[in-house]
Amino acid sequence: MLKINIGRSMLFLGLICSTNLLPQTGAMPQLTDNAGSLPNAAELLAAREQGPTPMLDDLRELCDSIGGRPTGSKACDRAVDWAVARFRAAGIESTWTEAYTIPTSWTGGADQAECVAPVRFPIRVASAPFSAPTRGGHALEAPVVNAGDGSPEAFARLGVRARGAIALVMTPEMKSEADLFGEYGRDATMFAAAQNAGVAAVLMQSSQPRVLLYRHPVAFSGTLPIPAAIVARVHAARLARLTERGEVRVRLDLPSLVGGPIEARNVVAEIRGRERPQEIVLIGAHLDSWELGTGAEDNGVNAAMVIDLARSFKALGIVPRRTLRFALFTGEEQGMLGSEAYVLRHAKEMNNHVAMITFDTGSGHTLGFYLNGREDLRRPVDQALAADPDLGPFEDSDEIIDGTDNFDFLLSGVPNLIARQDFAPYLPNYHAESDVYEMVNGPEAKKNAATAAVLLWGLAESPKRLAPRQSRAEVEQLLRATRLDEQMKTLGQWDEWAAGKRGASN
Ligand SMILES: [Zn+2]
């Protein structure tokens, strides 16, 4: 996941051919056949989720035995098969995969960098997803120029010295989510200025302390034509100091592979509703991750949670009025491509998608939910959450989010919610080598699962639908009123929306 904040909106960041088994109606034990008479279902679910379920063991297996799993990798395929097996082992017979195609693939290689003059020392680098490899896969050696904060003015000051050079861009250390937004927010103008200046490559100083590296995607539709990488914070600082004394030369080898279309799969499982099975409440989390770490906070913990929620409903024999659908999307880190594919594939069913809930901020405490611009969701969401008063208090936000798997549901007018989570455990490990199992706050993750279960139950059981589906005109009005349109334009998403390629209309 990835996120950017522009004005009031925020970005998280994160053809269909079928190998699916059609969803089957499983024989589901029912607590009661008396509709709605399950007064303690929410409490039962919350208690179970906070008790000893296999959720954290699942997370450990996903992270340690499968590991980092970029979409298109063998590890991601293994994770998909593993998730199907886990749903089935939980007794969810109705589990299937849905294949789709990703137009452009990018795979990181064995990146290497070395300062070769005035003194030799190794430099830690991690290539930026969707940036070009160095010179067709061979190392590049060039002088380093300090491009400061990467602004067009800073590149302009370098003048002709930038041509053919490796531009070093300095980054403030990440202290808050605003710094993360800032790091993504500068990319469009920075890379435009870098290309304009004719640089050979861009090295971006890591915003994380010491030598910690992470994946920083630099394009979401297509690829960036110049090589780019994150460089360890302390190494960037040393290079910057050396440039004040004379010529500094760096040898850079970023053998990334940019390839053609690849096939990916989402995992979907469901528990058919007892009274209105055609109506669906969907909870999703992305299963894919970057691979320097093992994708624990982003987003293995929430993928394991989605499996655990299905397991708990099944184990307790709780069958709500509406169908519960559990989705593990892939392609999220490439621009929410798995959830986009889901929405396109199920376009005709979107009228029946009563609500979509996403968790994508690791194990941070759930403070409430992002309503994504829909104030009409606040009351029913709070009512559902109130079923277990021990879990709150919650405070929802009307902010609108572009950058995780709710996005194509939002564009389709489906009421959509994102857990508003504390960033503390998530931020220092964002896409980083340190995004590993032991960084996850287990008790908070279990509590988040309890919150998710209570909300899921409430939305799936309520006699009334959460809120109406918005028309395309209403969605467009929302996008403009919240200025999400501007962000979509920056990210190259607006044209797809305007052309009707993204978002299913009713
Ligand atoms: Zn994510």
Query: How do the domains of the chain map onto residue ranges?
Result: 5-19+38-103+261-498, 107-258
Is the model's pLDDT at 16 over the cut of 50?
Answer: no
Tell how far the Cα of 241 is from the centroid of ligand 1, in angstroms. Answer: 35
Same fold, 5-19+38-103+261-498 and 107-258: no
Tell how far the Cα of 403 is from the centroid of ligand 1, in angstroms. Answer: 9
> Interhelix angle for 301-316 vs 74-89, to 10°?
20
Tell how far the Cα of 299 is from the centroid of ligand 1, in angstroms. Answer: 5
Average the pLDDT over 393-398 and give the result: 96
Length of the chain: 506
Cα separation values, 360 from 7, 64, 220, 284, 369, Å: 21, 20, 18, 9, 12
Tell how far the Cα of 503 is from the centroid of ligand 1, in angstroms. Answer: 20
Cα separation values, 83 from 92, 314, 336, 369, Å: 11, 16, 19, 26
**Do 250 and 293 meet the contact criterion of CB atoms below 8 Å apart?**
no
Cα–Cα distance for residue pair 385/456, rounded to 1 Å: 9
Tell how far the Cα of 400 is from the centroid of ligand 1, in angstroms. Answer: 16
Neighbour tally for 422: CB within 10 Å: 16
Average the pLDDT over 174-201 and give the result: 94
pLDDT band at 506 (very low <50, low <70, confident <90, very high): confident
Tell how far the Cα of 27 is from the centroid of ligand 1, in angstroms. Answer: 34
Tell me what pLDDT residue 414 has: 98
Share of the chain above pLDDT 90, in %: 85
Q: Is 244 helix (H, G, I), strand (E, B) or coil?
A: coil
Residue 342: both structure tokens together = 């889901």
Cα–Cα distance for residue pair 222/429, rounded to 1 Å: 26
Residue closest to 103 by CA, chosen among 72, 139, 138 = 72
Q: What residue ranges in 291-340 does DSSP mark as E strands?
A: 322-329
Cis link prior to 393 (omega < 30° from 0)?
yes
Per-residue pLDDT tens for 296-326?
999 999 999 999 999 999 999 999 999 999 9
Strand partners, 113: 123, 252
Q: Which helix (H) or strand (E) holds 206?
A: none
Q: Which residue has the tokens 């009409």?
A: 376
Task: Give the best-scoring range by mean pLDDT among 29-33, 101-105, 174-178, 429-433.
Answer: 429-433
Tell how far the Cα of 359 is from the centroid of ligand 1, in angstroms. Answer: 8
Higher pLDDT, 206 or 185: 206
Residue 370: both structure tokens together = 């992002």
Q: What residue ranges in 383-506 does DSSP mark as E strands?
A: 400-401, 416-421
**Do 42 and 458 meet the contact criterion of CB atoms below 8 Å apart?**
yes
Cα–Cα distance for residue pair 473/9, rounded to 1 Å: 19
Tell how far the Cα of 122 is from the centroid of ligand 1, in angstroms. Answer: 31
Considering the entire predicted model, what is its pTM?
0.93
Cα–Cα distance for residue pair 26/94, rounded to 1 Å: 7
Per-residue pLDDT tens for 96-113?
999 999 999 999 999 999
Tell me what pLDDT residue 2 has: 45
Tell me what pLDDT residue 204 has: 98
DSSP string, 439-466: GS-HHHHHHHHHHHHHHHHHHHH-SS-S
Is the model's pLDDT at 343 over the cut of 90?
Answer: yes
pLDDT band at 137 (very low <50, low <70, confident <90, very high): low
**Do 455 and 40 meet the contact criterion of CB atoms below 8 Å apart?**
no
Tell how far the Cα of 191 is from the centroid of ligand 1, in angstroms. Answer: 24
Helices (H) then strands (E): counts for the chain: 15, 20
Tell how far the Cα of 467 is from the centroid of ligand 1, in angstroms. Answer: 26
Is the model's pLDDT at 141 over the cut of 60?
Answer: yes
Tell how far the Cα of 1 is from the centroid of ligand 1, in angstroms. Answer: 3
Residue closest to 360 by CA, chosen among 395, 389, 336 = 336
Residues 6 or more apart in contact with residue 131 via CB below 8 angstroms = 218, 219, 223, 224, 226, 227, 228, 229, 254, 256
Per-residue pLDDT tens for 380-392?
999 999 999 999 9
Tell how far the Cα of 375 is from the centroid of ligand 1, in angstroms. Answer: 25
User: Mean pLDDT of all residues in the chain?
Assistant: 92
Q: Which residue has the tokens 């960098």?
A: 113
Tell me what pLDDT residue 15 has: 22
Tell how far the Cα of 401 is from the centroid of ligand 1, in angstroms. Answer: 13
Q: Given CA atoms 37, 42, 47, 50 in this order, what sign does their dihedral have?
A: positive
Tell how far the Cα of 153 is from the centroid of ligand 1, in angstroms. Answer: 33
Tell how far the Cα of 102 is from the centroid of ligand 1, in angstroms. Answer: 18
Per-residue pLDDT tens for 74-98?
999 999 999 999 999 999 999 999 9
**Do 128 and 229 meet the contact criterion of CB atoms below 8 Å apart?**
yes
pLDDT band at 232 (very low <50, low <70, confident <90, very high): very high
Tell how far the Cα of 339 is from the centroid of ligand 1, in angstroms. Answer: 12
Tell how far the Cα of 286 is from the centroid of ligand 1, in angstroms. Answer: 7
Is the model's pLDDT at 463 over the cut of 80?
Answer: yes
**Do 342 and 98 meet the contact criterion of CB atoms below 8 Å apart?**
yes
pLDDT band at 221 (very low <50, low <70, confident <90, very high): low
Average the pLDDT over 377-406 and give the result: 95
Cα atoms in the 13 Å half-sphere on the side-chain side of 173: 9
Tell how far the Cα of 338 is from the centroid of ligand 1, in angstroms. Answer: 12
Phi-psi region of 28 (alpha: psi -120 to 50; beta: other; left: phi over 0): beta
Tell me what pLDDT residue 318 has: 96
From the CA atom positions of the chain, what is the Rg in Å? Answer: 23
Strand partners, 115: 121, 250
Per-residue pLDDT tens for 28-74?
344 444 444 477 999 999 999 999 999 999 999 999 999 999 999 99
Cα–Cα distance for residue pair 17/38, rounded to 1 Å: 40
CATH code reported for the domain at 5-19+38-103+261-498: 3.40.630.10
Is the model's pLDDT at 378 over the cut of 60?
Answer: yes
Average the pLDDT over 239-254 and give the result: 97
From the centroid of its chain, how far is CA 115? 34
Tell how far the Cα of 296 is from the centroid of ligand 1, in angstroms. Answer: 10
DSSP string, 349-383: GGGGEEEEEE--STT--EEEEE-TT-GGGHHHHHH
Residues 6 or more apart in contact with residue 73 via CB below 8 angstroms = 107, 291
Tell how far the Cα of 333 is from the centroid of ligand 1, in angstroms. Answer: 7
Interior/surface letters 343-380, b for 16+ CB within 10 angstroms, e for the rest = bbbbeeebebbbbbbbbbbbbbbbbbbbbbbbeebbeb
Cα–Cα distance for residue pair 464/445, rounded to 1 Å: 30
Tell how far the Cα of 287 is from the centroid of ligand 1, in angstroms. Answer: 9
Q: Is 107-258 in CATH node 3.50.50.60? A: no
